[in-house]
Amino acid sequence: MFRMACEGRGSLARKLRGVLLVVAGCAVFIAAHAAPAAPAMVDAQRLIHADAEPGQWMSVARTYSEQRYSPLRAVNTGNVAQLGLAWFHDMDTTRGLEATPVVVDGVMYTTGTWSRVYALDAATGKLLWSYDPKVPRAHAVNLCCDVVNRGVAVWNRRIYVGTLDGRLIALDAATGAPVWSVVTVDQSKPYSITGAPRVIDGKVIIGNGGAEFSGVRGYVTAYDAADGRQIWRFYTVPGNPADNADSPALQRAVKTWSKPGWWRLGGGGPVWNDMAYDPALHLLYFGTGNANPWNRYIRNGASGAGDNLYTASIVAVNVETGKYAWHFQTTPGDAWDYDSDEQLVLATLDVGGAPTPVIMQANKNAFFYVLDRRTGAFISGTPFARQNWTKGLDAKTGRPIPLGGDIYHGESGRVTWPAPFGGHNWQGMAYSPQTGLAYIPVQDVPFLYAAQSETDFKPVTPGWGTAMNLAAQALPAGLDPLLQSALYADAVAGKLVAWDPLRRRAAWTVEHALVWNGGTLATAGGLVFQGTAAGNFRAYDATSGTELWRYKLPNGVIAAPMTYTVDGTQYVALMMGWGGSAALAGGMAVKWPGRDFHGYLLVFKLGGAAQLPAPQPFNPGIPDPPKLTATAAQVKAGNRFYNQRCAVCHGVDAVSGSSLPDLRYLPNAMYGKGFEAVVLGGVMANAGMASFADVATRQDIDDVQAYLIKRATETRVSLRQPGWWARIKTLVFRAVAPLANWLNGLLH
């Protein structure tokens, strides 16, 4: 077209005028559409006015309001059925993938396992560069929930990533070369970083994780994006009271911790996931994690009293100074691992007839909160998932109304909903201003909370203070494995819930086959996208919940999707890779035949016709353990040690829910000296299996092996039952499961 215009015929004057006009027009066109001089040229104005560039996705939740909503509508309810795979990238892992990619000016930036960073052409999938921060694999022992990372931040030609071992690194957006790196934690303690940074006015904001381990004191820090210089730090729990003189907020918090010397355990309360920002109020919002240890009688003394500020809270600070503005504690005196690190969403709602700036959260504790984000004032809180930990919330303050008794008193504990997995966890929640609905990945899962005695409690890896060996099954002991499976299947549920924050109820609900499903994306095309644990990527009508499209995947999904455009084509991207806390959740989401745990970055477009490689199905077969010769006392001791120390990676009750080794399937040659060499000798430390010599004796190791042989034998017997008899038993057990669950809850 350009050549034809420049070679138009006519008089010389007309030709000259035509040439000048065309050249000028072409220059304007090229200036408007040419690639920027350097990649990732993102600044405050671009982020604040992100809606002016709907084809970009410049932050993990697209905007500072964290809505995970896109104004794009080229893919819509009328044509979404035509979506197909455009391209994919092999992420070279069988572990969990949790990141939401970022796309700026045609380049996609994302992260994989072990905090690795990737830059790809967003239209073709061509790898532009990758960066490996080389996290020591032995650091995996300090992680509660897999070697995952939730994404990057982009600012002024740089990419920022937090690493599992506590570093914050700035990379050159063009090459992936490190520009600067700063250690943000005390690396002698079990801190970690799995969350994505945020950049606000030239400040990189990062938190940390580790509240399942003793010695961790939570905080959030702002660093200068240019050189990594620390600007401010806000601690979420007070340290030694003698050190809090310069912080009125921490002085107030000290009064809510009642046991002398409690700070030696760290306190917990880390900022390990979500943050939001209001440019008009200059307020940064973040959620804080659980108190440590979970058992409040260990951290607070015999009375258990104390709110333990600012754990399990939503906190607002001034983004320039880090000074405290307000807080709202969702779970005072947390005893259930009910973090408040879930998605924080900013919106404007009609409250009492007036448009009100609010902050919303579907909390782990199963309540959906709406607060005035200017002051933190409570507006509403309503259960969106099954809960029996409280009678409800005070209508004025939002404070939970205590339930009679206590989960950590008595020998048997109490079966409670939700479990530590939460009614909603870190998986992204989308909010559509078009429909006024929030789209929540919901799960109903029970958990048997029971006290670990203070004499048994050891502030090591990990330090829950909860009898995890009893929590391994929230069911009566000694049941047939098939009956246990049927009872548990009836007790748990995974859902996608479209929540109306004004009417305080679900507008629609979709039931899923499994729990621990992926985050959500809402679009102006009238769609909601979600990947599932059972290996489906789905699109729903945002108003009705009607399924409009489904793409079968070889693996499960926990990450949230995103969407963007390149050259006018709309794409939808998703990280596929099941894992994270799913390792702990092994008993509730058993591997199904044909699953391939390999992880991919998947990108779809209308008419896409790419094909993934043929899956490599996971098939563990039937365990073949040696004969059990240990005493019942040894097996019991092994159960206690395994579920307290090993289940965090290898699965509760020795059932792995991820690609990590399922220890029921250990080869016979691994028992004895081979097991000792791994667990005590650390011969596999470079593969992520650190030595436990500092917390385990040879007797502990012998006991754990006895327990694993017992579990392998039980599994072998269960799997070798005649098929017809197993099916009949399952049908009978499922029929009685609701009654059995009711009786079990009554007994506890």
What are the b/e assignments for 129-165, b being 16+ CB within 10 Å? bebebebebbbbbbbbbbbbbbbbbbbbbbbbbbbbb
**Marked catalytic residue, from 105, 337, 341, 653:** 337
Residue 604, classified by CB atoms within 10 Å of its CB into exposed (0-12), middle (13-18) or buried (19+), is buried
Answer whether the bond into residue 418 is a cis peptide, omega within 30°.
Answer: yes
Report the alpha-carbon distance of residue 550 to residue 475 in Å, rounded: 35
- Residue 315 CB contacts under 8 Å (≥ 6 apart), including other chains: 234, 236, 285, 286, 287, 288, 324, 326, 327
Distance CA 462, CA 466 (A): 10
Number of helices (H) and strands (E), helices first, in the chain?
12, 35
Euclidean distance between CA atoms 332 and 305, whole angstroms: 10
Q: Tokens 């020795």 — which residue?
A: 654
User: What does DSSP assign to residue 268?
Assistant: B
Please tell me the distance from the alpha carbon of residue 722 to that of residue 733, in angstroms, as a whole number.
16
551's tokens: 């793409």
Task: Write down the residue that tokens 């809402």 correspond to.
Answer: 522
Burial label, 95 (beta-carbon count in 10 A; 0-12, 13-18, 19+) = buried
End-to-end CA gap in the chain? 78
Asked if 70 and 57 count as a contact pair (C-beta separation under 8 A), the reply is yes
Question: Could you tell me how many residues make up the chain?
Answer: 748
CA distances from 729 to 486, 592, 622 (A): 9, 19, 20
Spatial distance between the Cα atoms of 207 and 205, rounded to a whole number of angstroms: 7
Q: In what helix (H) or strand (E) does residue 287 lie, and over which residues does it extend?
A: strand 283-287
> What is the full DSSP assignment across 116-175?
-EEEEETTT--EEEEE-----GGGGGG-SS-S-----EEETTEEEEE-TTSEEEEEETTT
- The whole-angstrom separation of Cα 23 and Cα 296 is 73
Q: Give the distance from CA 700 to its chain's centroid.
A: 32
Instruction: Measure the CA–CA gap between 87 and 80, rounded to whole angstroms.
Output: 17
What is the dihedral angle through the alpha carbons of 286, 334, 305, 463, rounded to the nearest 10 degrees?
-110
Please tell me whether the peptide bond between 462 and the residue prior to it is cis, using omega within 30 degrees of 0: yes
Using an 8 Å Cβ cutoff, are 566 and 642 in contact?
no
* Parallel/antiparallel/unpaired status of strands 69-70 and 520-523: parallel
> Which of these, 657, 539, 517, lies nearest to 595 by C-alpha position?
657
Token pair recorded at residue 67: 């809505």
* DSSP conformation class of 211: T
Q: Cα(636)–Cα(87) distance, rounded to whole angstroms?
A: 51
Identify whether 307 is a catalytic site residue: no
Place of tokens 């290898």: 650
The residues carrying an active-site annotation are: 337
